[in-house]
Amino acid sequence: MVKYNVIPRKNPINKEVKYYAQMAPVNPVKLSELADSISAQCTLTVHDVKAVLSALQEHIAQHLRNGNSVRLGDLGSFRAVIKSRGASTIEDFSAGNIKGLKVSFVMSSPMRYLLSKQNPNVNFQMVRPEEENDKMGEDETA
């Protein structure tokens, strides 16, 4: 279930307010939880899965630092994107203008379908802020 909030956003030009969907806050799935669920569906131990996922993280970061993109089959592709401040001329630009790197992820076609509205397994649920607070209170008392 994809949970979302509806929030107002003002158009900076004409000041008109419209309401848009925004992902509701969620609890992230940790590497150990992911390793447990993968291990339960195959012959690898949870330690083997954790080792592979840990190595995957390191190798993706290494390849991105080397300027390569990384394609992970039906998952998608990762690539590094440079963030920088502008300069008036090319001569004024230096590595000091570079703020850092971001990572861009592009889904593959199969993944796009798995997360599309055309997929009958994708469902949406609006969450109102008071519902989030109620659930947080329930989680804390449990």
CATH of the domain at 112: 4.10.520.10
- The tokens 């190798």 sit on which residue? 59
Residue 142: pLDDT above 50? no
With a cut of 80, say whether residue 137 has pLDDT above it.
no
Q: Which domain holds residue 30?
A: 2-87+97-132
Residue 111 domain flag: yes
pLDDT at 140 over 90: no
Place of tokens 């799935």: 29
- 76 phi and psi angles, rounded to 5 deg: 150, -165
Residue 55 lies in a domain: yes
Is residue 142 situated within a structural domain?
Answer: no
Say how many domains are in the chain.
Answer: 1
Residue 92 domain-assigned? no
What average pLDDT does range 103-131 have in this prediction?
92
* Residue 65 placed within a domain: yes
Residue 140 counted as domain residue:
no
Please give the pLDDT value at position 133: 54
Q: Decide if 138 is inside a domain.
A: no
| Per-residue pLDDT tens over the stretch 69-100 | 999 999 999 999 999 999 999 999 999 999 99
> What pLDDT does residue 129 have?
72
| Predicted local confidence at residue 26, as pLDDT | 85
Domain assignment present for 43: yes
Is the sign of the CA dihedral 68, 72, 77, 81 positive or negative? Answer: negative
Answer yes or no: are the C-beta atoms of 14 and 138 closer than 8 Å: no
Tens-digit pLDDT profile for residues 20-71: 999 998 889 999 999 999 999 999 999 999 999 999 999 999 999 999 999 9
Q: How far apart are CA 31 and CA 139, in angstroms?
A: 21
Q: What is the pLDDT of residue 128?
A: 86
pTM above 0.85, yes or no: no
